[in-house]
Structure 1
Amino acid sequence: MTDTPKTTYKRVMLKISGEALMGDTAFGLHPPTVQRIAREVKSVHDMGVEICMVIGGGNIFRGLQGSAQGMERTTADYMGMIATVMNALAMQSALEELGIHTRVISAITMNEVAEPYIRRRAVRHLEKKRVCIFAAGTGNPYFTTDTAATLRANEMNCEAIFKGTKVDGVYDKDPVKHADAVRYDVVSYDEVLQKHLGVMDASAIALARDNDLPIIVFSLDEPGGFKGILAGEGTYTTVRD
């Protein structure tokens, strides 16, 4: 596999869920899994691609679930944002063990552990080939990390969002439950919304559509999958017009 990207992508956003960091455990962080994902990120970084990341917090706390259990929604969402900072710090540690300079940039001020979000500073980090992990969502309740990833991707002038999941693309129905599920090679933003295909929440899809930002859905569990797509290989779905 070549180390030279065959695509035009020079700066990308990698969005992964907090659950992706759990590995086979039921809760929290699984260090070997965090390290494996960090190696995937490093393999793309070594190709010269500038990388932004947003990691969810569902492995620690999910605001919507907390709200459903009786917690006030705004408080629950802020707790979820703090969970994303914990995940970002874990990923930063794993990346820096691999020699990749990394910055955790938080939408909620916590100067002792993360930089505050300043767009120009973040862009400069990327230009210096540092991986930028954007934490704490948008800094506002009622917005998901999918929306935060799409917002930051647009602000950073990323050329695509790479959505790492447990399956190798977008299917017309859940491939885990339905053996006859059909994978799309390409699907439009509007079709994702109309058919409720579950790629990202509606706000994130609409924001990507309005800014012509493609979303590439691939399997994060497939070794070398992230790098493979940039090298013109692998199986994935592209969401675009």
Structure 2
Amino acid sequence: MNLAKEIRNQINKMPEGEAFGYLDLGISKKDFITAAKALERLQSAGVIKKVSKGKFYKPKQTVFGELEPDYNNQLNTYLFQNGKRIAYVTGISLYNQMGLTTQVANQISIASRIKRIYINRGALKADAVKSYADVTESNYKLLGILDALKDIKKIPDGNIENSIKLLTSLIKQQNGNQLKMLVNLALVYPPRVKALLGAILENIDANIEIAKLKKNLNPLTKYKVGIKPNELPTIKNWNIV
């Protein structure tokens, strides 16, 4: 069976309205050029439609007309590349999901280390943010926590005391390996993030390894966050005021 027929058969098996890429069709990189031509012919015939570069979907016909892939399905085509996560949603949209704000963003922010991702497609709109570290499936939620610590004073209608409580609760849910990863990721963030994370971790459990956070901070620098000692007793050890 030639490649074009194989692609057609693979697409016939796929559910309508679900976005897919080259790797989802089992196409090897050496066949991408040939596959692109086959997919272009299928687009012209109306069998598939393009979502973004290298991503397509089978249109779903309903009594109300044609449906595009749902919001999350479309979004995932930008968050993943070759089957691997390269980006994550951050900013107000993420902080809303975390319960740190009730505000809803007009457009989302997408953080990635390897590319700048802008989207303007119907209801799906996003601006690009540079991630502090390479994004993976195992660390993107931790990066979100660190982003929230970084922006804690700027979160719309956010209450710093409540934000600390919510973020402390999220951090408590991480296992030992995740906490170690969280500390290592914090090392590439601004000093106030290291200080805040150190204070929270020390308050949770004095046995958590946080020495490398302290080592990366200037002992003479004070970090103005607006937290009171009764809200986070360990701030005095991290020069947080």
Same fold (TM over 0.5): no
Structure with the greater alpha carbon radius of gyration: 2
Scaled by the length of structure 1, the TM-score of the pair is 0.28
Give the structure with the higher percent helix: 2
Q: Which has the higher contact order (CA 8 A, sep 6+)?
A: 1
Scaled by the length of structure 2, the TM-score of the pair is 0.28
